[in-house]
Amino acid sequence: MNLRHRTARTALIAALLLSSVPAAAENVLLTLTGAVTDGRVELTRADFDAMDWHEFATSTSVTDHQPEFRGVLMRDILAHAGAEGSQVRAAALNDYVVDIPIEDFYQFDVLAALYMDGVPLTPRDKGPVWIVYPRDDHGVLADIRYDMRWVWQLVALHVQ
Amino acid sequence: MTTRQEWIRYLGLGGLVLVCLGLLGLAAWQLVQLERQMRIGASENMIWVFGQAQIEALNLALTLSDEAAAQQIQTRFDVLLSRLTLLEEGPQRRFLEDAGVSETLAGWRSGLLALDPAQGADMAALRAHVTALVAALRGKASLVMSHEWQIQAERLDRLGHLHRLALVSVLGAALAGLGLAAILIDRERRLMRGRLDRLRAEKLAGDLERERETSENHRRFADLIAHQLRTPLAVIDSAMHRLTRRGGPVSPELVSEKAAVSREAVARLVKLTDTALMMSRLERDGVLPHLGAHDLHDLAAAVIDDLMVAQGRNPSRIRPPAQAAPMVALCDPALTGEILSNLLRNALLYSPLDCRVDVEVSQSQTHIVCRIEDRGRGMSPEEIARAFDRFHRGSGHETLPGSGLGLTLARHLARMQGGDVILTQRAGGGLTAALYLPREVSA
């Protein structure tokens, strides 16, 4: 990765984070752009709290036991943001970017987890948001092609 | 084959089936194992995970040296921390332990936490710590890479091994299956041979039975002929004896009477010989019909004439067919004459002297039919059913001259020409003998 590219990416994420400064009290956790209401929707913790919360335990590819995850369904987030599209480009704090078909969120109960084993996720671990698939409920999900979509440190979703 | 050998064969067969199924089961199990191991796990992606930790360390070092905004430094700090946290979690930690790099990496995370910028840590100390971390990570990157590839290669070896085992199992099962097939084919061959032997034996027995029947027929035929020959010979002998008896002169009337009796006896002998010859030729299939178009009226009339002349009988007893439209059949005139003469003689012989015999010719869609009706005793359905058997003589007629071959011969000759002879009871008493012959179809 060349320096300019990296700086630009860092600047983008910083901008996403900093743009929420005016409302810093209501820390923005997730920003949706693209085909959403007014082209941009920011979700704070309060917005998350207003939605239905779900929880399930599942094995992951990077932990030993089966942590208990708690959060809101990805499809609820998309519905909340009035998203219309076929896929989202998920971007993480650590510059990880991956495209996820929106179909996944309707086919499976994919969680935008904010808690793991009752402990809030932070940017120092896999927070603020970790996309978690119900890996143990569907054999097909135990596959590298789905493992790639488990985005942690999720901060932005671009609907397209 | 003894029971013991049978048992050994069955055990062998069962054993082969078991081996075959067992090997197939083994192959299936190995293939399932193969399928399971062929998945790629994200935890195998350690080159990427380790590389990302390295990059984040570099990012933080760069941000620190750029003296960027505190927020930006904090973000890079958090992300690096998360990368180190990931390396310390279960699967990743075990991998690094196996690769022998976990010890060199231990302690970096806690060291970093102690220098948290959010807690107002010394930036220079943080910079020095991160620079040292970058160097430590760079020193171990190649070890991680080679360990990763080592694991992948070993995994492929395992897959290859499983694959070979499955292949060997399938080949073994195929061999067992071949053995099984060989045994079954051998068994089938034996069964087939047994069946053929049985069929041959049955055929032989049938041939023998037929031969016995034929020879029995010949014996009865010879007896019958001898018996039939005796009567006319005795008649002639008696006539000759009367003529040559010593005593008074022989009147010319007596001579002519005895001559007539003798001639009739001779004629019967000739007829008998002819029938015997015909039967004998038929048995050798020596007679082939010469088919042609002939009017059955003419044939019947000729036969009636011959019969009257030869036997000097009362011509008025037979009512010949009325001449109507021509009734042309496709037949052999000699054979047809023989049949008609046979049926007519039967009709005359088996009905009272003063009763009429009607001959009538008609036609159906496909056949020309000549019916000969007598007013004799007739025959019961059972008698009719047996009438065509060889050497069968009608009940109560044993004393009348006859070979028991006439009807058999007549039907045989009719069928040779594509026709038939059928007996039915005549309405009003007596018997109707019908000769069917195919119609001549003029093209």
Domains of chain A with bracketed CATH: 3-159 (3.90.420.10)
pLDDT at B396: 62
pLDDT at B442: 64
pLDDT at A22: 40
> Which has the closest alpha carbon to B140: B198, B100, B190, B81?
B100
Record: contact B40-A144, CB cut-off 8 A? yes
Neighbours of A9 (CB within 10 A): 14
Burial pattern B58-86, b for ≥16 Cβ within 10 A else e, equals bbbbbbbeeebeeebbbbbbbbbbbbbeb
Q: Nearest-CA distance from A3 to chain B in Å? A: 10
Contacts of A64 in chain B (CB under 8 A): 89-91
Chain A residue with CA closest to B48: the answer is A96
* CA B290 distance to own-chain centroid: 41
Q: Nearest-CA distance from B192 to chain A in Å? A: 54
ipTM comes to 0.80
Instruction: In whole angstroms, give the CA distance from residue B6 to residue B3.
Output: 5
The band of A134, judged by pLDDT with boundaries at 50, 70 and 90, is very high
Q: Is the dihedral of CA A6, B52, A155, B81 positive or negative?
A: negative
Q: Which of residues 33-92 of B touch A (CB under 8 A)?
A: 39-43, 45, 52, 55-56, 59, 62-63, 69, 71-72, 75-76, 78-79, 81-83, 85-86, 89-92
Q: Nearest-CA distance from A124 to chain B in Å? A: 5
- Mean pLDDT along residues A104-128: 93
pLDDT at B50: 92
Question: Which residues sit opposite A43 in a β-bridge?
Answer: A30
- Facing A125 at nearest CB: one of B56, B85, B91: B85
Collect all residues with Cβ–Cβ distance below 8 Å to B174 and sequence separation of at least 6.
none
Interface-testing mutation among A12, A61, A62, A149, with chain B (most B C-beta atoms within 10 A): A62
Flag whether residue B245 sits within 8 Å of chain A, measured between CB atoms. no
Contacts of A125 in chain B (CB under 8 A): 82, 85
Token output for A152: 């942690």
Contacts of A135 in chain B (CB under 8 A): none
pLDDT at A154: 94
Collect all residues with Cβ–Cβ distance below 8 Å to B413 and sequence separation of at least 6.
B282, B335, B336, B338, B339
Record: contact A143-B39, CB cut-off 8 A? yes
pLDDT at B260: 87
Enter the CATH code of domain B289-438: 3.30.565.10
User: Does residue B334 contact residue B374 with C-beta atoms inside 8 Å?
Assistant: no
pLDDT at B298: 86
Record: contact A153-B52, CB cut-off 8 A? no
Record: contact B39-A144, CB cut-off 8 A? yes
Interface-testing mutation among A3, A5, A94, with chain B (most B C-beta atoms within 10 A): A94
Q: Nearest-CA distance from A75 to chain B in Å? A: 25
Contacts of B38 in chain A (CB under 8 A): none
Q: Nearest-CA distance from B53 to chain A in Å? A: 10
Burial of B423 (0-12, 13-18, 19+ CB in 10 A): buried
pLDDT at B398: 57
Interface-testing mutation among B37, B75, B88, B116, with chain A (most A C-beta atoms within 10 A): B75
Collect all residues with Cβ–Cβ distance below 8 Å to B29 and sequence separation of at least 6.
none
Record: contact A62-B42, CB cut-off 8 A? yes
The band of A8, judged by pLDDT with boundaries at 50, 70 and 90, is very low
Instruction: In whole angstroms, give the CA distance from residue A21 to residue A37.
Output: 21
What is the greatest pairwise CA distance in chain A? 45
For chain B, domain boundaries: 3-186, 289-438
User: Does residue B421 contact residue B399 with C-beta atoms inside 8 Å?
Assistant: no
**What's the per-residue H, E or C state across chain B?**
CCHHHHHHHHHHHHHHHHHHHHHHHHHHHHHHHHHHHCCCCHHHCHHHHHHHHHHHHHHHHHHHHHCCCHHHHHHHHHHHHHHHHHHHCHHHHHHHHHHCCHHHHCCHHHHHHCCCHHHCCCHHHHHHHHHHHHHHHHHHHHHHHHHHHHHHHHHHHHHHHHHHHHHHHHHHHHHHHHHHHHHHHHHHHHHHHHHHHHHHHHHHHHHHHHHHHHHHHHHHHHHHHHHHHHHHHHHHHHHHHHHCCCCCCCCHHHHHHHHHHHHHHHHHHHHHHHHHHHHHHHHCCCCCCCCEEEEHHHHHHHHHHHHHHHHCCCHHHEECCCCCCCCEEEECHHHHHHHHHHHHHHHHHCCCCCCCEEEEEEECCCEEEEEEECCCCCCCHHHHHHCCCCCCCCCCCCCCCCCCCHHHHHHHHHHHCCCEEEEEECCCCCEEEEEEEEECCCC
pLDDT at A21: 41
Record: contact B59-A6, CB cut-off 8 A? yes
Q: Nearest-CA distance from A38 to chain B in Å? A: 28
Q: Is the pLDDT of residue A7 over 60?
A: no
**Three-class DSSP category at A142:** coil
**Residue stretches of chain B with pLDDT short of 50:** 443
pLDDT at B402: 64
pLDDT at B443: 46
- Facing A61 at nearest CB: one of B43, B59, B83: B43
User: Does residue B387 contact residue B397 with C-beta atoms inside 8 Å?
Assistant: no
